[in-house]
Amino acid sequence: MKIKTIFLLANGSSILLMTTFLIICYFYMILSVSMIGWLSLLTVLSAFISFLVYYLLTSPVERSIKRLAGEASHISETNFGTNIPEEGPVEIRSLTRQFNEMSARLSHSFQAIQQAEQSRRELVANISHDLRTPMASIQAFIQAIQDGIVEDPKSKAQYMRTISLEVERLDQMIQQLFELSVYDSGTMQLHKEWTALDQWLLEVMEHKRFILEEQDRDVHIDFPERIEDVYMDREKMKRVLLNLLDNALRHSEPDTAISIRFCQQDRFIVIEVEDKGEGIETEHLAHIFKRTYQVEASRNQQYAGTGLGLAIAKHIVEAHDGTISVASKSGIGSTFTVQLPR
C-alpha cells in the first residue's frame, strides 16, 4: 500500500467517525435538524479541504521516496552519481541528504576499486612481458652452450655472465613484487636508526660499483662538509637511492655523468639524483611514480626495469613522512628530489 493511500485512509477514518456521530445525532434527535445540516455541510467541506491538504503535503514525500527507490535500484546496477533533490519534511530531507552522501562515497569507492583492478591487470600484463624477456634470453644462451655452438672459453664466460645478469634481473623483479605487496597491505615496518649519510652513501655506491665501472660512468657527488644524521630505516632508504640510480642508468647514455647532491635545509635533508638523459615529457610527469608506468622503452636494455622502482621509492619515502618529486625536460635530463624530515 502506498504511503499516500495510508495517509488518506487515516484522514478518511476521522471523517467517517464525524459522519457516524452526525447520523447518531439525527436518529436520536440529540441536535436540531438545522444544526445537523450545518455540521454536515462543515464536515463535507472540511473533508474536501483535508483530502486536498493531505494530497499536497504527501506528494513531495512520495516523490522523494520514489526517487530514493529508483536511485537504490541504480546503485544495485553500479550506476552512481545521481543527486536526489532534497524536498519534503525535515526527516525526508535529512534521509535524502544522507542517501546522496552515501551514493557519493560508494561512487568514489567503486572508482577506486576499478582503478585498482585496472592497475592489477596492467601490472600482471607488464610483469608477464618483462619476465618472458630474461627467461627467453636465459633459455637461448643455455641452449647455445648445450648444443656446442659456443666452444670458445671466453665466449662461454661472456654467455655465463649474461645469464647471471638475467637471473639477477629476475630476482630483482620478484623482490620488487614482494615489496610492493607488503606496502599495499599496510604491513610495512620501519626499523629507524640515526644514520650517518656519508657512510650510508658509500654503502649504496658499493652496490653499484660494478655497473659504474662496466659503463665507465662518471658520478659527481656534492656532499656538504657538515650534515646532520637522519633518523630513518637505513636499508629501505638505501633501496630508494638504488632505485633512483637504476633509473638514471637506464635512461641516460654511458658517456653522460650522474650527479648526487645532498643539502640541509631548515626542516629537511634533501637528496637529489640528476641525469643527463632523455628526460621526461611534461604530460608524463604526473604519472611517473605510478606502478608499471614506463614512458618509453629503455635505451639501455641491459638494465631495463619493470616500472616498479619509482613506485616503491615513493612508498618508502612517504612512510618516512617525506616527499619525492621529479623535475625534467625532454632531451636535457631529469632530477629526482627526496626530502626527509630532520
Give domain status of residue 115, yes or no: no
User: Is it the case that residue 263 has pLDDT exceeding 60?
Assistant: yes
Question: 333 versus 7: which is more confidently predicted?
Answer: 333
Residue 72 sits in the same domain as residue 212: no
55, 79, 103 - which closes a domain: 79
123 found inside a domain: no
Q: Is the per-residue pLDDT at 294 higher than 70?
A: no
Least confident of 75-79, 236-240, 338-342: 75-79
Cβ–Cβ < 8 Å for 249, 303: yes
Confirm whether 24 is domain-assigned.
yes
More confident residue, 237 or 4: 237
Tell me the per-residue pLDDT of 266-289, one tens digit each, with 9 for 90 and over. 889 999 999 998 888 888 888 888
Same domain? For 65 and 196 the reply is: no
Tell me, what CATH number does 306's domain have? 3.30.565.10
Over residues 200-221, the pLDDT tens digits come to 999 889 888 888 888 888 999 9
Into how many domains does the chain fold?
2
Confidence of residue 299 (pLDDT cuts 50, 70, 90): very low
Any domain includes 304? yes
* pLDDT tens by residue, 118-173: 766 766 666 676 677 677 778 887 888 887 777 778 877 887 887 887 787 787 77
Of 58, 79, 100, at which residue does a domain stop? 79
pLDDT range class, residue 297, cuts 50, 70, 90: very low
Q: Where on the phi/psi map is residue 161: left (φ > 0), alpha (ψ -120 to 50), or beta? A: alpha
User: pLDDT digits over 226-240, tens only?
Assistant: 889 999 999 889 989
CB atoms < 10 A from the CB of 228, how many? Answer: 11
Domain membership of residue 10 as a residue range: 3-79
Note whether residue 39 is domain-resident: yes
pLDDT of the residue at 185? 67
Taking residues 12-37, report their average pLDDT.
71
Q: What is the value of pTM for the model shown?
A: 0.57
Of residues 53 and 190, more confidence is placed in 190
Q: Are residues 69 and 198 in the same domain?
A: no
Q: What is the pLDDT of residue 213?
A: 84
Does some domain include residue 116? no
More confident position, 269 or 309: 269
Domain identity same for 212 and 340: yes
Average model confidence (pLDDT) for the chain?
Answer: 78
Q: Among 79, 105, 137, where does a domain finish?
A: 79
Query: How would you write the chain as a 3-class SS string?
Result: CCHHHHHHHHHHHHHHHHHHHHHHHHHCCCCCHHHHHHHHHHHHHHHHHHHHHHHHHHHHHHHHHHHHHHHHHHHHCCCCCCCCCCCCCHHHHHHHHHHHHHHHHHHHHHHHHHHHHHHHHHHHHHHHHHHHHHHHHHHHHHHHHHCCCCCCHHHHHHHHHHHHHHHHHHHHHHHHHHHHHHHHHCCCCCCEEEECHHHHHHHHHHHCHHHHHHHCCCEEEECCCCCCCEEEEHHHHHHHHHHHHHHHHHCCCCCCCEEEEEEECCCEEEEEEEECCCCCCHHHHCCCCCCCCCCCCCCCHHHCCCCCHHHHHHHHHHHCCCEEEEEEECCCEEEEEEEEEC
pLDDT value for 62: 73
